[in-house]
Amino acid sequence: MIRAAYDWVMRLSAHHNATWVLFVVAFLESSVFPIPPDALLIPMGLARHVRVWWYATVSTIASVLGGLAGYMIGYFLFDAIGQPLLAFYGMEEKFATFTQWYQDNGAAIVLFAGITPFPYKVITIASGAVALNIWVFMIASVVARAARFYLLAALLYWFGPKARVFIERYLGWITLAAGILLVGGFLILRYI
């Protein structure tokens, strides 16, 4: 089953509309979608490693624009949804403390989440909810997302053909490791 899914994604990544699909996935992942664009960027880079820099550019632009959409969700919907929940649970004071901490450390938080596998959408929406300075948010987002996608592009460009052979040979083990990391990430998110 994993092999069939891998082969399907490799065929999709070579399709003439794959770049548009990558744009949509990267945009949505930054605000609402659970699948990171890496899931498409990697096979696209493996299938056409000479275009990997273009794919990194598309991913960065779409992700930052999607992050802005996430910011707007947090900014405009927090009063309607988030504030009543905080009041119901008596958490207004704790949220005020969190907001101040977030304001003081927002750039570092956005940079961390934008580079790591941490769910970026959580940070984009939280940044809007606490009204983090929009310019701080945008600059940190551009730096973080570009660093993430261009680093991945560099690895795919220089090691792409070798990486493809490695991935195809050890696909089961790689899938197991990715699953463990994904579950670990959700557990960390839950207990932080």
Span 23-75, pLDDT tens digits: 988 998 888 877 788 878 888 888 788 899 999 999 999 999 999 999 999 89
The SS3 assignment for 119 reads: coil
Closest CA to 73 of 149, 125, 35, 18: 125
Closest CA to 130 of 106, 114, 152: 106
Residues of the chain with pLDDT under 70: 1-11, 13-14, 85-86, 89, 163-176, 178-179, 182, 185-187, 189-192
pTM of the complete model = 0.75
Q: Give the pair of three-digit tokens for residue 54.
A: 């273009």
CB-neighbour burial class of residue 114 (10 A; exposed 0-12, middle 13-18, buried 19+) = buried
Number of compact structural domains in the chain: 1
Residue 139 half-sphere exposure toward CB, CA atoms < 13 A: 8
Supply the pLDDT for residue 137: 93
Range of the domain at 113: 2-191
The SS3 assignment for 17 reads: coil
